[in-house]
Structure 1
């Protein structure tokens, strides 16, 4: 069953529940030209940032949905959309974001 793109109102409603997350237009990188759900986190060390990436990877496997993740020295940036829905945002993107929001504080993310 294909995932349905969310309407602009649905996106705004879900975004209101995720402080720190924003929606940007894709740049064409990694095949993304539609809307992209993004968030960056700053952590206390490279080790903490790496641990967050590993934890996010576990969640992505559970959901069978994967974000583009950029690991910096003490930062982690995520960008997610549903490629199978033409690069649109779907409920699956927001579920991944919610799960990341739940686990990030445990790694000291700000």
Structure 2
């Protein structure tokens, strides 16, 4: 079953439920600040586990006290799809457990 791109209105509606997430070009993005580099590293590992479960992977950047994600759906021509929002929701749910803001 092909994955369909979301319309601009659908994207805006979904963003309303995901504070801190935004659209940059054709990608869904979010950056988090964490209390330490160790906490940031642990969050990257946790996100990686979720991405494997969903079989959907973002570009992940680990900084000294930060983690940034950028994602779109390659099989939908690089558009934003429900798969991207499913990943964003999971990351938003796990972030507080790592002390992320």
TM-score if structure 1 supplies the norm length? 0.91
How many residues align? The count is 101
1:10 aligns with: 10
1:72 aligns with: 63
1:62 aligns with: 53
Give the secondary-structure state (helix, strand or coil) at the position aligned to 2:50: helix
1:28 aligns with: none
Contiguous gaps of at least 5 residues in structure 1: 26-34
Give the 4+ runs in structure 1 shifted more than 2 A.
Answer: none
2:89 aligns with: 98
For the aligned residue pairs, the C-alpha RMSD in angstroms reads: 0.4
Contiguous gaps of at least 5 residues in structure 2: none
| Distance in 1 of aligned mates of 2:44 and 2:55 | 16
